[in-house]
Amino acid sequence: MQNHYFDTLIIGSGLAGYTLALNLAQEKKVCIVTKLSTNDGASGWAQGGIAAALSNHDSPEKHAQDTLQAGAGLCNEEITYDITKKGPQAIQWLIDQGVEFTREQGSETGYHLTNEGGHSMRRIIHSGDATGKAIQQTLIEKIKQHPNIHVSEHHIAIDLITSDKVSDHPGEHNKRCFGAYILDKRNDKVRTFIAQNTVLATGGASKVYLYTTNPDTATGDGIAMGWRAGCRIANMEFIQFHPTCLYHPYAKTFLISEAVRGEGGLLKLPNGAQFMSKHDPRAELAPRDIVARAIDFEMKKRGLDCVYLDISHKPLDFLQNHFPNIYSRCLELGIDIAKKPIPVVPAAHYTCGGIVTDKNGQTDLHNLYAIGETAHTGLHGANRLASNSLLECLVIAQAAAKDIMNQPPVASVKLPDWDESRVTDADEEIVISHNWDELRRFMWSYVGIVRTTKRLQRAQRRIELLREEINEYYTNFRVTSDLLELRNLVDTDDLIVRSAQLRHESRGLHFSRDYPDTLLHAEDIVLKR
């Protein structure tokens, strides 16, 4: 076995992980573990931008109020006000790193601020319509140049190493994390990564659904590992479905940004009729859960494959300047958005629940943190307000960095090696691909935008059968990347379904036909092993 030692181990390579690494690296030796390359996190796919109160007409309090309203009674108010207050400083940090946001002559901030659903005013700072990509590219260059940051590409975490695996650190009262077992995908060797502090920054779990705007890496790895290690998990029933994913056979995960509706895009039926005003007085600028349910309702009612988002009434130069990436990609696929509407469908987009943390990203285990979409801070409540996700990544990662700096050193212990002495090579790997496909299909059918008790029960029975088969496979055969992701998928599916079964109401992103009313008092659904 080969052991690797670091001050901080960061599992995941999105904005949260990179922000943390850069804030620690002046004093700490940091390792970033990523399943693919440094460019493959979901953060790079973010189009719209980052919400923050930057203009004199806005304030962190107004931003917080919009967040609380979208969160449908389940946001943590203290966390919400803290994050929105720190928003402007977080944006300035990105500017100081060299991120080039879209400018606008004559504006009080010097930057163009756009609007999105659920916001009471323009406060989304962006870089064209590829904000995540611009930020990631800037930070990656700094990551690569920093001598204290080591990046392990094409590595996937198997499980965390906790004190219950170490003979001289028993007991729940002192449960700690000492690092993780990591599979090197290039040679299928398992390594032990040992760290003073370990951080889960693996993103969300939208790949548990058949249709998603997320990259293939979004398989709930951090959430599943945290759960298996003993962390509490909260509000996993709140999966945000983005209302407008491009409907096209060759672009199944291409997102049409919220900002298209913010700049005047109209949702229409195939006959050109608008329908959003029938569902909400805010029409196209209603929060995402309302818009997604409205589209789902119209599609099912009329037997449609998709609806249409029309912004062709805007001038060509406006579209090319505001949405260059969307304009060019649609044109490649034969859709000129200056002349005709864009076919769109809802798709799984964001995981609002996750590993329970405090405002510094600390989990229930000593020396284990969770940041970004993997975590549940309480900011998003029952429905994430558009463009708050990257803001949370920045603010919590910076808070976690300060907290880690203040942590006392952990005494070194001897950790057990990864044991594969009783396993063999898999006999039929086709089982993995079949189970993967089945999981994602029944989650889409039974645990989607609209749910029922019977659908959830059917999903639960299938999860139990598949989990037994997957665990048997995991126990008897050498681990592979596909097997590890499948194992994480089934654990995450189980958390989503169990949480949904426990919520006997409809609130935010969770809508049940059997419990259509919203309860007077909002409560988190918290699962503990």
Count of other CB atoms within 10 angstroms of residue 513: 12
For residue 198, the number of C-alpha atoms closer than 13 Å in the C-beta half-sphere is 31
The structure tokens listed for 243 are 């209302």
CB of 185 closer than 8 Å to CB of 199: no
What span, in angstroms and rounded, lies between the C-alpha atoms of 516 and 503?
A: 11
The structure tokens listed for 209 are 């659904």
* DSSP state for residue 120 in the 8-state scheme: S
Q: What backbone torsions phi and psi does residue 184 show, to the nearest 5 degrees?
A: -80, 105
Helix (H) or strand (E) holding 193: strand 189-200
CB of 158 closer than 8 Å to CB of 39: no
In the block, residue with structure tokens 């036909």: 513
Catalytic residue selected from 288, 293, 329, 455: 288
H/E/C letters for each residue in 240-268?
EEEEEEECCCCCCCCECCHHHHHCCCEEE
What span, in angstroms and rounded, lies between the C-alpha atoms of 365 and 256?
A: 39
Alpha helices, DSSP H, located in 74-157: 77-85, 87-97, 131-145
CA-to-CA separations, 327 to 47, 338, 385, in angstroms, rounded:
13, 8, 25
Residues 6+ apart with CB under 8 A from 225: 11, 157, 159, 160, 180, 200, 488
What span, in angstroms and rounded, lies between the C-alpha atoms of 343 and 345?
A: 7
Q: What backbone torsions phi and psi does residue 318 show, to the nearest 5 degrees?
A: -65, -45
Q: Which residues of 96-117 are buried (b: 16+ CB within 10 A; e: fewer)?
A: eeebebbeeeeeebebbbbbbb
What span, in angstroms and rounded, lies between the C-alpha atoms of 497 and 443?
A: 9
Selection from 290, 240, 241, 238 nearest residue 267 by Cα: 290
CA-to-CA separations, 321 to 5, 84, 112, 237, 318, in angstroms, rounded:
47, 28, 11, 38, 5
Distance of CA 76 to the CA centre of its chain: 18
440 is catalytic: no
Count of other CB atoms within 10 angstroms of residue 88: 17
* Residues forming the active site: 288
